[in-house]
Chain A
Amino acid sequence: MKPRIGVFVCHCGLNIAATVEVSEVVKAIEHYPGVAHAQDYIYMCSDPGQELVRKAIREKKLTGLVMSNCSPSLHERTFRNLAASEGLNPYLVEVANIREYCSWPHQGDKETATKKALTIIKATIERVKRNQALVPLIVPLQKRVLVLGGGVAGMQTALDIANGGYPVTILEKEAYLGGRVRQLERTFLTMESAPDLANEMIDRTLKQPNIEVLTTSRIENLSGYVGNFEVQIRQQLPWVDPARCNGCEACVAACPAEVPSTFDRGLTTRKAVDWTPGERHGDRRIFLDHAACLRVTRQENCTACREACAEGAIDYPEDRLIDRTYGAIVVATGHDLYRKSALTEYAEDPDVLDALQFERLLSEDGPTGGKVLRPSDGKEPKEVVFVQCAGSRDPDKHFPYCSKVCCMYTCKEARRYREKVPDGQAYIFYIDIRSTGKGYEEFVKESVEKERLLYLKGKVSKIARKGDKLLVLGGDTITGLQVEVEADLVVLAMATVPNPGAKELARLLNINTDPYGFIQEAHPKLAPVETLTAGIYLAGTSQAPKDIPHAIYQAGGAASKILSLFSRKELVHEPLVARVDQEICAGCGYCRDNCAFQAVDVDPIRKKAMVNEALCEGCGACATACPSGAIQVKNLDSKQVFDMISIVTQDYSMQP
Chain B
Amino acid sequence: MEEFEPKIIGFFCNWCTATAADLAGTTRLQYPPNLRPIRVMCTGTVDPVYILRSLLLGADAVFVGG
Measuring CB to CB, which residues of chain A are less than 8 angstroms from any residue of chain B? Answer: 71-73, 97, 99-102, 104-109, 112-113, 116, 119-120, 123, 576, 594, 596, 617-621, 623-624, 633, 636, 638, 641-642, 644-646, 648-652
Q: What is the total of A-B residue contacts with beta carbons within 8 Å?
A: 110
Partner of A73, one of B19, B31, B42: B19
B41 at the interface (CB under 8 A from A): yes
Pair A105/B31 contact, Cβ less than 8 Å: yes
Asked if A100 meets B24 with Cβ closer than 8 Å, knowing A105-B30, A649-B54, the reply is yes
* CB-based nearest A residue for B53: A645
Which residues of chain B are near A119, meaning CB under 8 Å?
A: 36
**Shortest Cβ-Cβ A-B pairs, 10 listed:** A620-B45, A100-B25, A621-B44, A619-B42, A648-B36, A104-B25, A649-B57, A100-B22, A619-B44, A106-B33
CA distance A646 to B9 in the complex (A): 11
Chain B interface category by residue count: 20 to 34
Pair B44/A104 contact, Cβ less than 8 Å: no
Asked if A109 meets B21 with Cβ closer than 8 Å, knowing A100-B26, A624-B44, the reply is no
Which residues of chain A are near B32, meaning CB under 8 Å?
A: 106
Pair B50/A641 contact, Cβ less than 8 Å: yes
Distance in Å: Cβ of A147 to nearest Cβ of chain B: 29
How would you classify the secondary structure of chain B's contact residues: helix, strand, loop or mixed? mixed
Partner of B45, one of A100, A112, A120, A619: A619
* CB-based nearest A residue for B25: A100
* CB-based nearest B residue for A111: B33
Pair B9/A645 contact, Cβ less than 8 Å: yes
Measuring CB to CB, which residues of chain B are less than 8 angstroms from any residue of chain A? Answer: 7, 9, 18-19, 21-22, 24-26, 28-33, 36-42, 44-50, 53-54, 57-59
Which residues of chain B are near A638, meaning CB under 8 Å?
A: 47, 49-50
CA distance A106 to B47 in the complex (A): 29
Some 17 contacts from A to B, beta carbons below 8 A apart, are A73-B22, A104-B26, A105-B25, A105-B28, A112-B33, A120-B36, A123-B36, A596-B44, A618-B41, A620-B41, A620-B44, A621-B45, A638-B47, A641-B50, A642-B53, A646-B57, A649-B59
Pair A624/B30 contact, Cβ less than 8 Å: no
Which residues of chain A are near B49, meaning CB under 8 Å?
A: 638
Most buried by A among B21, B24, B29, B44: B44
Distance in Å: Cβ of B10 to nearest Cβ of chain A: 9
* CB-based nearest B residue for A103: B25
CA distance A648 to B62 in the complex (A): 11
Which residues of chain A are near B50, meaning CB under 8 Å?
A: 638, 641-642, 645
- Other A-B pairs, 9, CB within 8 Å; known A106-B33, A619-B45, A645-B54: A71-B25, A97-B37, A100-B21, A102-B33, A120-B36, A621-B42, A641-B38, A648-B38, A651-B7
Pair B29/A105 contact, Cβ less than 8 Å: yes
Pair A116/B40 contact, Cβ less than 8 Å: no
Pair A636/B41 contact, Cβ less than 8 Å: yes
CA distance A623 to B50 in the complex (A): 12
Distance in Å: Cβ of A96 to nearest Cβ of chain B: 10
Pair B38/A623 contact, Cβ less than 8 Å: no
* CB-based nearest B residue for A15: B25
Which residues of chain B are near A120, meaning CB under 8 Å?
A: 36-37
CA distance A650 to B19 in the complex (A): 25
Partner of B41, one of A116, A576, A652: A576
Which residues of chain B are near A99, meaning CB under 8 Å?
A: 25
Which residues of chain B are near A113, meaning CB under 8 Å?
A: 33
Which residues of chain A are near B39, meaning CB under 8 Å?
A: 72, 97
Which residues of chain B are near A116, meaning CB under 8 Å?
A: 33, 36
Distance in Å: Cβ of B33 to nearest Cβ of chain A: 5
* CB-based nearest B residue for A117: B33
* CB-based nearest A residue for B24: A105
Which residues of chain B are near A105, meaning CB under 8 Å?
A: 24-25, 28-31, 33
Pair A623/B33 contact, Cβ less than 8 Å: no
Which residues of chain A are near B19, meaning CB under 8 Å?
A: 73
CA distance A99 to B7 in the complex (A): 20
Partner of A101, one of B37, B40, B46, B57: B37
Which residues of chain B are near A100, meaning CB under 8 Å?
A: 21-22, 24-26
CA distance A645 to B53 in the complex (A): 8
Which residues of chain B are near A636, meaning CB under 8 Å?
A: 40-41, 45
* CB-based nearest B residue for A106: B33
CA distance A106 to B37 in the complex (A): 14
CA distance A642 to B46 in the complex (A): 11
Which residues of chain A are near B28, meaning CB under 8 Å?
A: 104-105, 107
